[in-house]
Amino acid sequence: MTTQPVIDFKKLIESLPDATVIVNRDGKIVLVNAQAELLFGYPRQELLNQPLEILIPVRNRSGHIRERIGYYLSPHIRPMGKGLEIVGLHKDGHEFSADISLSPVEAGEEVLVISSIRDISDRKKIEEALTEEKERLSVTLRSIGDGVITVDSQGRIVFLNRVAEILTGWGQTEAKGRPLLEIFHLLNEKTRQPYEDPVAAVLSTGKIVEIAGPTLLISKEGIERSIVDCAAPIRDPAGKILGVVLVFRDITGKQKMEEELLRTMKLESIGLLAGGVAHDFNNLLTSILGNLDLVMTEKEPRNKRSHWLSQIEKAALRAKEIASQLLTFAKGATPVKRVVSIKELIEEAAGFALPDSNCRCELVFSDPLWLLEVDPGQIIQVIHNLLINASHAMPEGGVLTVGAENITLKNKEARHRSLKPGNYVRVSVKDSGVGISKEHLHKIFDPYFTTKETGTGLGLSNSYSIIKKHHGTISVDSQVGMGSTFSFYLPAATKEISAPSRGEDALHIRHIRVLIFDDDPMIRETAGEILKQIGYEVVYASEEREAVELFRQAKESGEPFDAVILDLNLSNGMGGIDLLARLKGIDPSVRAIVSSKNLEDPVMSDCRKYGFKGRLAKPYDRKDLAKVLHDLLHTL
């Protein structure tokens, strides 16, 4: 038999961790422990025989503690008392939150009430702070301008803010606990097919999911709104997914405004284009009709008639050129693609782009550079346009930087640039010129938009159309007074480099070769030096036989001359016309420029009639030389 331990009641009370105060039937304190002395700041003699209320503020004294005590002392009820939250009063007058538990205990004849009191000030502070934080969060979420919905890990609605209530048409109370898709109906704006559940996508991947727009949200009342939406996981500190938060924005109004703006801008562009075409064609027609009128008044001498006819021809050719540029813009000449290195195309374009400017071109290539599958001629034309514009932006001269680098565009960046994700080569042309004002920035790619007195406004629109045809994109970054950087992205080739084909395209990946035929050594050398500087390969001939031989050899070796410059009146009496006839015998497609100081000579005034493709009036300078060759090589 085990003997019952004898417990010293006082010692037991003393060892309890909570402040303990025992009162008698009258509510007077009969016993306290050290924790109670500490908690209330009274030595125990001062507490004994005092009513329990001494330990609570005066305003709380009437009523419930005493009632509670009476309740516990009633003869019918003997359960343990429940915790009661009270305000405690320290001897020094400060108040604190406390939790009190009352329970009756029989002591001989008497029934006493034991009260265990615990200071809960710290816990209260934390609770209050938490409530405040919760309140603040809820106010923030409710007043936020975007719709916010949170769901639990089962995909059931936990919370909807006010905007979400308005956009979905569902109130917080009725929506709570329902599966998301019951209140959040999303359709693809174009196909009107329902979207998959964004919450399921977040829960399965654990990643942020952006719904690729445009998306329609259909409200409870059937109202359709365009929204942009993203869903993100809510995690606990250990990383476990507790639910998903959806944030979405109504862009219906914004989209309408953008569409409106786009329509206005399109109309402006069409107006500009139509005005430009009308202006150009009017001028050309004026010239054609005026000259025709003169030709038809037969009284005039014959030599004048040929001049008028040549003016008509010139105007008609210019009209043809404009039409072809417009066609490139409208549907883009189909690129004849070949795998090439962009480095060579840039070097080639830079070689002849800036003949009459004080600008210097700096080329910066990252190594290695991916190859491109492009139409070399068209891409050279784009770089050429950008370089010419850059040099125009720096009339005082300066340095232009042309760079090329490899760029891999991931989903988001690619979408941002309206490109497919993948490998691209980015080419940039940077100047430190006048820059482009904000007002002009969105117009510069429009056909016929120009701020230059003699500009055509077709350079950038053609470049844009060429780059689009190559599945790339072109953009500009500019600040007035600081300069501009035009950048275009072209997809990297998936094939190996291909051999240059013969004919026109081969032009663009080797040096352009020019034969100069002139018996004046000074002219030969000066012209040669200039052309070499610009980037051409130059061969000289001082006699007709030598010129014919060099021309034949070049043709037979597969590296024909791209252009020949022939002096019209050699001092020995032989002229460029005879020589041209012999060269045509070797290669009928020879591209020849006639050069003479005698402008009155009919060959000079109407060189095309005599089979030449251009003329160069002596004395000529770098600018004339570069221009005539450029025009010759870029008109087919």
Question: Within positions 461 to 480, which residues make up the interface with ligand ADP, using CB under 6 A?
Answer: 461
Residues 6 or more apart in contact with residue 6 via CB below 8 angstroms? none
Q: Which is nearer to ligand ADP, 431 or 518 (CB)?
A: 431
Instruction: Give the interface size with ligand ADP as a residue count (CB under 6 A).
Output: 22
Q: What one-character DSSP code corresponds to residue 575? A: B
Round to the nearest angstrom and report the end-to-end CA distance of the chain.
Answer: 122
Comparing CA positions, the residue from 440, 447, 469, 282 lying closest to residue 374 is 469
Q: How far is the CB of 454 from ligand ADP (least distance, A)?
A: 8
Question: Does 385 help bind ligand ADP (rule: CB under 6 A)?
Answer: yes
Q: Which is nearer to ligand ADP, 355 or 433 (CB)?
A: 433
d(CA 591, CA 337): 25
Span near ligand ADP by CB under 6 A; candidates 191-199, 350-358, 455-463, 575-583:
455-463
CA distance readout (Å), 507 to 23, 239, 500, 536, 538? 111, 62, 9, 11, 15
Question: Within positions 394 to 453, which residues make up the interface with ligand ADP, using CB under 6 A?
Answer: 431, 433-434, 436, 440, 444, 449-452
Question: Does 100 help bind ligand ADP (rule: CB under 6 A)?
Answer: no
Q: Which is nearer to ligand ADP, 115 or 389 (CB)?
A: 389
Q: Which is nearer to ligand ADP, 449 or 612 (CB)?
A: 449
Question: Within positions 179 to 198, which residues make up the interface with ligand ADP, using CB under 6 A?
Answer: none
Q: Which is nearer to ligand ADP, 47 or 394 (CB)?
A: 394
Comparing CA positions, the residue from 184, 199, 303 lying closest to residue 242 is 199
Q: Which is nearer to ligand ADP, 19 or 387 (CB)?
A: 387
- Binding ligand ADP (rule: CB under 6 A), the pick from 88, 457, 576, 614 is 457
How many CB atoms are located within 10 Å of the residue 7 CB?
A: 8
Q: Give the distance from CA 101 to its chain's centroid.
A: 65
- Binding ligand ADP (rule: CB under 6 A), the pick from 393, 564, 568, 629 is 393
Span near ligand ADP by CB under 6 A; candidates 184-192, 358-366, 384-392, 624-632:
384-392
Residues 6 or more apart in contact with residue 606 via CB below 8 angstroms? 306, 307, 310
Q: How far is the CB of 458 from ligand ADP (least distance, A)?
A: 6
Q: How far is the CB of 317 from ligand ADP (least distance, A)?
A: 19
CB 447 within 8 A of CB 269: yes
Q: Give the contact letters, 211-240, x = binds to ligand ADP (CB under 6 A), - = no.
A: ------------------------------
- Binding ligand ADP (rule: CB under 6 A), the pick from 287, 328, 473, 484 is 484
- Binding ligand ADP (rule: CB under 6 A), the pick from 157, 186, 203, 460 is 460
Rounded to 10 degrees, the C-alpha dihedral 11/15/20/22 comes to -10
Q: What is the DSSP string of 369-422?
A: ---EEE-HHHHHHHHHHHHHHHHHH-TT-EEEEEEEEEEEE-HHHHHHTT--SE
Q: Which is nearer to ligand ADP, 385 or 473 (CB)?
A: 385
Q: How far is the CB of 574 from ligand ADP (least distance, A)?
A: 42
Q: How far is the CB of 290 from ligand ADP (least distance, A)?
A: 26
Q: How far is the CB of 464 from ligand ADP (least distance, A)?
A: 9
Cα angle 28-31-35, degrees, rounded to a multiple of 5: 120
- Binding ligand ADP (rule: CB under 6 A), the pick from 57, 194, 455, 602 is 455
Question: Where are any strands of DSSP class E within 438-558?
Answer: 473-479, 483-491, 513-517, 537-541
Question: Does 389 help bind ligand ADP (rule: CB under 6 A)?
Answer: yes
Q: How far is the CB of 621 from ligand ADP (least distance, A)?
A: 23
Task: State the DSSP H helix or E strand holding residue 90, giving kind and residue range, or none if neither.
Answer: none
d(CA 440, CA 456): 16
Q: Which residue is nearest to ligand ADP (CB)?
A: 459
Encoded tokens for 318: 């210019």
Rounded to 10 degrees, the C-alpha dihedral 407/410/412/415 comes to 70
CB 223 within 8 A of CB 240: no
Q: How far is the CB of 550 from ligand ADP (least distance, A)?
A: 38
Q: How far is the CB of 303 from ligand ADP (least distance, A)?
A: 36
Encoded tokens for 598: 């005698």
- Give contact residues for ligand ADP (rule: CB under 6 A): 385, 389-390, 393, 431, 433-434, 436, 440, 444, 449-452, 455-461, 484
